[in-house]
Amino acid sequence: MATVLLLASRQPERMMSWLGALAGAMAVSGVVLLACDRIRRWVGDSVVAAVEKLMGLVLTAVAVEMILAGLKHYFFGTD
């Protein structure tokens, strides 16, 4: 949702595209959440643990990038 808000603020003329993308992402997330038990049985616990660690690393990288961008904007006033 934060991504859609950011994109919509930068390109408001494409609001319907961003909302469609958000709806699609929410639908895929919902399907994955509803099928999570079957997915876990199918891929196995070790694969699920590896994906969890990978997604944690990706989330950390995105958070660090956002913090650095915020600090750059705060101290230097540029994008």
- For the question of whether the overall pTM of this predicted structure is more than 0.95, the answer is no
Short-list 62, 55, 52, 56, CA closest to 6:
62
Asked if 18 contacts 8 with a C-beta cutoff of 8 angstroms, the reply is yes
Q: How far is CA 24 from the centre of its chain?
A: 13
Asked if 78 contacts 72 with a C-beta cutoff of 8 angstroms, the reply is yes
Average confidence (pLDDT) over 37-57:
94
pLDDT tens by residue, 26-41: 999 999 999 999 999 9
**Mean pLDDT for all residues in the chain:** 88
78 pLDDT band, cuts 50/70/90, is: low
